[in-house]
Amino acid sequence: MQALIFDFDGLILDTELPEFLSWQQIYQSMGHELPFEMWCRCIGTSASAFDPIAYLHTLAGSFDQERIIQDRHAILYELLGKQSLLPGVLNYFQDAKKMGLKLAVASSSPLNWVSSHLRQHHIDHFFDAICTREDVAVVKPNPALYQTALRRLQVNAEDAIAFEDSPNGIKAAVEAGIYCVAVPNQLTSRMDTSHANMHIASFASVPLQTLLRQLAVAAYD
């Protein structure tokens, strides 16, 4: 094993729950609900997979769109400010570096979004490559982001492990030929992640050394 490739949103930092809750608060302020079944279309892929503004228009008619966006951003960043790295993920970064493994991020989000959060939480130095939607023509579930990460790390797919929380991300990793470990969060635990090669409840529940031993035993069997 030579490399670990991580999704970002909902895996390293749970930005997905604040994103959903911020829109849910906006919808509720206008007397409506945002169904999770609608929102989950955009988890782990491009935001264009579901347009919450357009859907709100179908429910509420016309409104001051600029004000709504500003209000939503204020709620979002208040919620994000309360978020810390997800349990155990920092230990994975530290242990991987001690073991001489390369690390990358493969995210469908913009570079400025991913990089700013990595810097804010003082973990940007762990990564040998950061691959975001600016680097590919098509984001997840297309495998291009993972293929790009493999090229930048200069490793083969069979020598890497991908960590994902969402069905779209898992599909991208698997189609790139990478062994994929699902680590669902509060939202994506409600979605179908059965196509991952392995599931763990959290990074804290299975230390990296234990996970690698389990994979080595499985490969031997």
Place of tokens 């804290």: 204
Across the beta sheet with 160-164, what order do the strands follow?
A: 129-131, 102-106, 3-6, 160-164, 179-182, 198-199
Report the C-alpha gap between 214 and 140 in whole angstroms: 27
List, in order, residues 6 or more apart from 121 with CB less than 8 Å away: 13, 84, 85
Catalytic site positions: 7, 9
**Joined tokens for residue 23:** 């829109």
